[in-house]
Amino acid sequence: MTDLLNNFSVDAIKLNWQTITCAIILWFTTLYCGIWSINQQPFNRRERMFWTVIVIAIPLFGLLGYLPKAWYNSATGALSFWKKPKKQKKFYGY
């Protein structure tokens, strides 16, 4: 069992400028997509600023925390046809 765990070590990772550059590009792309998604949600200004700060300040956990909220907003928007329509007030022109 220890031989199996020894196969996964940090020493085997070869860090050079190409891998670091690719990791940085992937991270900024993911961050851009997360912020773009926040701006597309029906948030008020305060909620939008809160989620943007969380996603930027807490690198991985901010995106993971935002994911359920984004899924909930997109699911409720897509499933809104199941809701009963609101009754409209009749206007008699007075």
Residue 4 has a pLDDT of: 64
93: left (phi over 0), alpha (psi -120 to 50) or beta: left
pLDDT digits (tens, 9 = 90+) for 10-44: 665 677 888 889 889 999 999 999 999 899 888 88
Q: How far apart are CA 54 and CA 91, in angstroms?
A: 45
Q: Per 3-state DSSP, what percentage of the chain is helix, strand, and coil (rounded to 5)?
A: 70, 0, 30
In the chain, the percentage of residues whose pLDDT exceeds 70 is 65
Handedness of CA 22, 67, 73, 44 (dihedral sign): negative
Task: Specify the higher pLDDT residue, 55 or 94.
Answer: 55
Q: How far apart are CA 38 and CA 45, in angstroms?
A: 11
